[in-house]
Amino acid sequence: MWVVVVGGAVILIAVLVLHANRVERKAVAAAVQVLPNHVREGFSHRFSGQLRGVDLTLVLVQRPGDSNPQAGLWSEVHLPVPEGVELELRPQDPVEAHLVAKGLARDASVGEPTFDAKFVVEMAPAILAPAVFDAELRERLLELHPVRVLRAESGGLRLVRRHWEGERFAALAETAALLATGLRQAGGAEAAQAERWGASHVSARAEERADLEKTRAARTSWTIRNVVLVVVGLLVILVLRALLS
């Protein structure tokens, strides 16, 4: 009996490994067609190159700790962001709506109802949002929904989408290049405004960025507090069940 169980487990593991290798090979083959310079780093692959004159890096991230191997695959395109501009873009959902209502998230309108209903745009200066998110960029982001734009640890931004979908790598890179171009142009216009209006303008923009950072810090504290409460609640339930059993 044990021989059958162990043999079945070995076969299942082998099938999963073969499938994962096949998915990885297909993803690498697709990615190198978009950005040609390939480097493997542990469980991740990095592909770098230029698109529309923008330096981009496509990162295929594999997080083996996830219970579902497919859920542990993420595609990220890293792109530059001009100094003085802060941006995060997240899919709109009930949690995000609650955070915005509580003042724990900001949502800058881009002036297009369909897009505004689908995404939270957390940006400073918020006044730049309509210019950055023009019609072409909005259309591409809606096609990639539920894509996210998050800050990268190494600086800049990263356009993030779950799974390794080779057929979407080109669209991700093109969208990242469009976003980087829009940010660069908006950043240039903002720099011109700062030069024109002087210290008061610079100070106001710095204050807006500082307020956004405070909002993000408050959101992080709120999230940690709620996670702790959930864990403590579960532990209390387990203890009570043990005492009553």
Give 171-184 pLDDT, tens digit per residue.
Answer: 999 999 999 999 99
Q: Say if 132 falls within a structural domain.
A: yes
Q: Say if 110 falls within a structural domain.
A: yes
Q: What is the rounded distance in angstroms from the CA atom of residue 109 to the CA atom of residue 195?
A: 26
Q: Say if 243 falls within a structural domain.
A: no
Q: Say if 239 falls within a structural domain.
A: no
Give the per-residue pLDDT at 17. 46
Burial annotation 212-230 (CB, 10 A radius, 16+ → b, else e): beebbeebeeeeeeeeeee
Total count of domains within the chain: 1
Mark residue 152 as left, alpha or beta (left: phi above 0; alpha: psi -120 to 50; beta: remaining). Answer: beta
Give the per-residue pLDDT at 117. 95
Q: What is the rounded distance in angstroms from the CA atom of residue 201 to the CA atom of residue 197?
A: 6
Give the per-residue pLDDT at 67. 46
Give the per-residue pLDDT at 188. 82
Give the per-residue pLDDT at 118. 97
Check pLDDT > 60 for residue 18: no
Q: Which residues pair with 39 in a beta bridge?
A: 46
Q: Say if 245 falls within a structural domain.
A: no
CB 74 within 8 A of CB 162: yes
Residue whose C-alpha is closest to residue 70's, from 19, 105, 10, 34: 19
Check pLDDT > 80 for residue 144: yes
CB 217 within 8 A of CB 116: no
Scan for tokens 């210290």, then name that residue: 199
Q: What is the rounded distance in angstroms from the CA atom of residue 32 to the CA atom of residue 29?
A: 6
Query: pTM for this one?
Result: 0.84
Q: Say if 242 falls within a structural domain.
A: no
Residue whose C-alpha is closest to residue 164's, from 64, 60, 67: 60
CB 99 within 8 A of CB 219: yes
Domain of 159 in residue numbering reads as: 2-234
Averaged pLDDT for residues 168-197: 89
Q: Which residues pair with 61 in a beta bridge?
A: 74
Q: Say if 165 falls within a structural domain.
A: yes
